[in-house]
């Protein structure tokens, strides 16, 4: 496996008395899909928010390519190659699907000197947006209003927007939430495909998908890492069954 | 925020032509009134960059408008008229710098708190001018109208021609500002503003430094309000602290609302409608504010997209 791209050490985040994420260390390497599972309130989304710069850690450090990026704001993390999708669909609803993705591509493709140029005539972000839409299978919907897409399509749009920022790291927070079985199937294949050339962190509830697509699984309970290992190891662990899988059945 | 179609721009151009030809037929009173309307349209347009363009509802815009007006006094004092080529850039710069200071702090807040912060800063600017011994006093002060001087070749319009020259100057600046904002809103920068208006949080996650982008928009809008204020001083030859007060900010916001938040040219329609309405109401009653309020209330309730949202219905 290639060296880690994004890495955190002893990441901790407190909200008042609650320790949402407690001393979590993990490494994301390119070409691998790292899944984070755990019961509700385990701190999975908070972890994603810490890794993407949405939240600053109370303590612990964050490294991108071996350089410290602790405390960087979200936009700077995104610029540096950390893309993310959100658990709750987070798009520009009144704008077209194409424009949503184009804005994502624009962030990295526009040097400040070109900012005053006519956006309709700047080809690079348009082309990059088009490519990202094709990749998630939304090519035919480019002209529609983003808010008019079906729920499943909006989830795909989320991922297309993250992709259009040309990230090296993808933080995907429950991309399958609320999707039908057929859509899930398509998206699982896409995740597998994305993991070939990205470092992917997948926060997910759907165990079937996780065990199918993940290279490594980290189980979180009450903010802490309970266990981290290959899907086979995690599936076989009695502790995990007790803490988490047991609850479901 | 939409930009008018080609046909819409033809209509706006036609309206500008009508205004430009007014001096041929109209008297001094009407010319003065239209000149003032052009200034208020420019002021409301500056606010539209924030409200309709970026989703930032500010109640402090008059602070920058008033500073632009006072720039004329700061440059000339009680002395002779200076050149527009000096006073106008000073007005834009002064207002822009004030907007930079205010925006840097106010843009750390959002929504309702942004509204209150801008209101507070606007009122601070008002009291600064109101109470400062160097600002000409609480009752305001007369100023000379800046002339059109260029390297010693001063053009001072004859008294008879002055209303027309003022009207053309205001019209030219309004047209230039509108054309400039069309370029801005169509640019990559304008697209960022639109994205921020719809979802600031997501724009950050996509790699946009939205704070910096909003600050640039805030400074642009402030400088433009300063230009409008300068034209006010030039048109009225008088400045007073009320120009910076929150009443005037609210008036501009009403014009934007009446004209339509969804279209760049909305405030132009809004300003003319507002001032026209004021004139009409004055003919009927002394309580013109009441009439004004009722009409605006009705318009906002009935026309969700403001005057700019009105369409000619084709008879099928």
pLDDT at B233: 97
* Cα distance between residue A231 and residue A244, in whole Å: 14
Neighbours of B108 (CB within 10 A): 11
pLDDT interval class at A249 (50, 70, 90):
very low
Residue bearing the bigger pLDDT, A160 or A110? A160
The reply to whether B2 falls in a domain is: no
| Within a domain: B12 | no
Contact predicate A176/A184, CB 8 Å: yes
DSSP secondary structure letters along A198-240: SEEEEE-S-HHHHHHH-SEEEEEETTEEEEEE-HHHHHH-HHH
For the residues A162-176, what does the mean pLDDT come to?
94
Residue A215: which pLDDT band, with cuts at 50, 70 and 90?
Answer: very high
Chain B hits for A94, CB-CB cut-off 8 Å, are: 198
Higher per-residue confidence, A238 vs A24? A24
Q: Which of B95, B5, B83, B43 is nearest to B267 (CA)?
A: B43
Q: Tell me if B305 sits within 8 A of B256, measured CB to CB.
A: no
To probe the interface with B, which of A52, A54, A81, A92 has the most B CB atoms within 10 Å?
A92
Distance from CA of B307 to the nearest CA of A (A): 21
Partners of residue A86 in chain B, C-beta under 8 Å: 202, 205
Residue B190 lies in a domain: yes
pLDDT at B290: 80
Cα dihedral B95, B98, B99, B103 in deg (nearest 10): 180
Give SS3 for B206.
Answer: coil
Please, what is the Cα angle at A78 between A77 and A80, to 5 degrees?
A: 65
Task: Determine the 3-state secondary structure of B214 from DSSP.
Answer: helix
- Which residue in A48, A72, A106, A161 has the most chain B C-beta atoms within 10 A of its own C-beta, making it the best mutation to test that interface? A106
Distance separating alpha carbons of residues A82 and B204, to the nearest angstrom: 12
The reported pLDDT for the residue numbered A1 is 58
> Chain B closest CA to A167's CA: distance in Å?
10
pLDDT > 90 in chain A, percent: 77
Let me know how long chain A is: 249
Q: Pick from B165, B140, B160: which is nearest to B234 by CA?
A: B165
CB pair distance less than 8 Å for A119 and B190: yes
Smallest CA-to-CA distance from B54 within B203, B226, B234 is with B203
CB atoms inside a 10 Å sphere around CB B139? 9
pLDDT at B301: 82
pLDDT of A183 strictly over 90: no
Name the residue among B267, B239, B308 with its Cα closest to residue B87: B239
pLDDT at residue number A246? 57
CB B40 within 8 A of CB B271: yes
Are the beta carbons of B209 and A75 closer than 8 angstroms? yes
How far apart, in whole angstroms, are the C-alpha atoms of residue B27 and residue B34? 11
Instruction: Mark which residues 186-225 of B lie under 8 Å from A by CB.
Output: 186-192, 194-195, 198-199, 201-210
Give the torsion sign (CA, B48, B51, B56, B61): positive
Write out the CATH class of domain A1-81+167-249: alpha beta
- List all residues 6 or more positions away from A182 whose beta carbon is below 8 Å from its beta carbon: none
- Residue A233, min C-alpha distance to chain B (Å): 34
The total domain count for chain B is 1
Distance CA B239, CA B142 (A): 6
Buried/exposed code over A184-209 (b: 16+ C-beta within 10 A; e: otherwise): beebbebbeebbeebbbbbbbbbbeb
Distance from CA of A7 to the nearest CA of B (A): 19
- The SS3 assignment for B303 reads coil
Could you give the CA distance from residue A23 to residue A15 in angstroms, rounded to a whole number? 14
A228 and A217 Cβ atoms separated by less than 8 Å: yes
For residue A135, pLDDT beyond 90: yes
The residue among B219, B226, B262, B267 whose CA lies nearest residue B244 is B226
Interface contact B206-A93, CB threshold 8 A: no
pLDDT for B281? 85
Helix H or strand E segment including B45: helix B28-54
* Residue bearing tokens 């500073």: B67
From the list A92, A116, A120, the residue facing B189 with the nearest CB is A116
Residues of chain B with pLDDT under 70: 151-153, 312-316
Domain ranges of chain A: 1-81+167-249, 90-166
User: Do the beta carbons of residue A220 and residue A42 sit within 8 Å?
Assistant: yes
- Measured CA to CA, the distance from residue B196 to residue B25 in angstroms comes to 46
Q: How much is the ipTM here?
A: 0.92
- A140 contacts: CB under 8 Å, gap ≥ 6: none
Per residue, the 3-state secondary structure of A23-53, as one string, reads EEEEEEECCEEEEEECCCCCCHHHHHHHHCC
Rounded to an integer, what distance in angstroms lies between the CA atom of residue B150 and that of residue B152? 6
Backbone angles phi and psi of B312, in degrees to 5? -70, 125
- Full domain range(s) for residue B109: 27-245
Question: What dihedral angle (degrees, nearest 10) is formed by the CA atoms of A226, A229, A235, A241?
Answer: -10
Give residue B59's pLDDT.
Answer: 96
| Phi, psi (degrees; rounded to nearest 5) at A68 | -70, 130
B207/A104 CB distance under 8 A: yes
Chain B touched by A116 (CB under 8 Å): yes
CA distance A150 to A156: 10
Best of B187, B205, B216 to substitute, by most chain A Cβ atoms within 10 angstroms, is B205
3-state secondary structure of B264: coil
Out of B191, B198, B205, the one facing A52 most closely (by C-beta) is B205
């Amino acid at each position: 496996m290639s060296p880690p791209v994004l890495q955190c050490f002893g990441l901790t985040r407190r909200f008042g008395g609650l320790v949402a994420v407690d001393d979590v260390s993990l490494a994301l390497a390119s070409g691998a899909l790292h899944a984070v599972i755990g019961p509700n309130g385990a701190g999975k989304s908070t972890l994603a928010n810490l890794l993407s710069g949405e939240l600053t850690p109370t303590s612990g450090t964050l490294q991108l390519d071996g350089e410290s990026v602790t405390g960087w704001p979200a936009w700077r993390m995104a610029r540096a190659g950390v893309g993310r999708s959100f658990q709750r669909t987070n798009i520009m609803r009144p704008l077209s699907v194409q424009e949503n993705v184009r804005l994502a591509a624009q962030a990295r493709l526009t040097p400040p000197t070109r900012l005053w140029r006519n956006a309709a005539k700047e080809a690079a972000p348009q082309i990059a947006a088009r490519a990202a839409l094709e990749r998630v299978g939304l090519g035919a919907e480019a002209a529609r209003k983003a808010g008019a897409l079906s729920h499943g399509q909006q989830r795909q749009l989320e991922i297309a927007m993250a992709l259009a920022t040309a990230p090296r790291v993808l933080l995907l927070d429950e991309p399958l939430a609320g999707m039908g079985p057929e859509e899930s199937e398509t998206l699982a294949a896409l995740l597998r495909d994305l993991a070939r050339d990205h470092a992917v962190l997948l926060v997910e509830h759907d165990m079937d998908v996780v065990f199918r697509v993940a290279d490594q699984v980290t189980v979180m309970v009450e903010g802490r890492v309970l266990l981290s290992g290959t899907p086979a190891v995690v599936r076989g662990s009695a502790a995990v069954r007790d803490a988490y899988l047991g609850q479901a059945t | 925020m939409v930009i008018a179609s080609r046909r819409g721009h033809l209509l706006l151009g036609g309206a500008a032509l009508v205004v430009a030809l007014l001096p041929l037929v109209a008297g001094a009173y009407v010319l003065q009134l239209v000149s003032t309307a052009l200034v208020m349209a420019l002021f409301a347009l500056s606010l539209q960059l924030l409200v309709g363009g970026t989703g930032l509802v500010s109640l402090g815009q008059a602070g920058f408008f008033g500073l632009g007006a006072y720039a004329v006094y700061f440059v000339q004092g009680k002395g002779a008229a200076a050149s527009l080529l000096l006073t106008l850039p000073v007005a834009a710069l002064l207002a822009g710098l004030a907007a930079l200071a205010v925006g840097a702090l106010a843009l750390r807040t959002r929504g309702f708190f942004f509204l209150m912060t801008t209101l507070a800063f606007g009122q601070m600017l008002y009291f600064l001018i109101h109470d400062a011994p160097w600002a000409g006093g609480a009752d305001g002060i007369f100023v000379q109208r800046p002339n059109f001087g260029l390297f010693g070749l001063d053009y001072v319009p004859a008294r008879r021609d002055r209303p027309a020259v003022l009207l053309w100057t205001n019209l030219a600046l309004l047209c230039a500002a509108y054309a400039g904002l069309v370029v801005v809103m169509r640019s990559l920068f304008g697209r960022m503003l639109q994205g921020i208006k719809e979802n600031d949080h997501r724009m950050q996650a996509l790699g946009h430094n939205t704070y910096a982008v909003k600050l640039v928009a805030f400074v642009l809008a402030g400088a433009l309000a300063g230009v409008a204020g300068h034209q006010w001083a030039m048109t009225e030859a008088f400045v007073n602290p009320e120009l910076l007060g929150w009443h005037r900010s609210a008036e501009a916001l009403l014009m934007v609302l009446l004209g339509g938040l969804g279209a760049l040219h909305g405030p132009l329609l809004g300003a003319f409608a507002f001032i026209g309405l004021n004139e009409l109401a004055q003919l009927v009653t002394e309580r013109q504010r009441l009439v004004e309020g009722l009409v605006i209330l009705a318009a906002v309730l009935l026309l969700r997209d403001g005057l700019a949202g009105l369409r000619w219905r084709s008879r099928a």
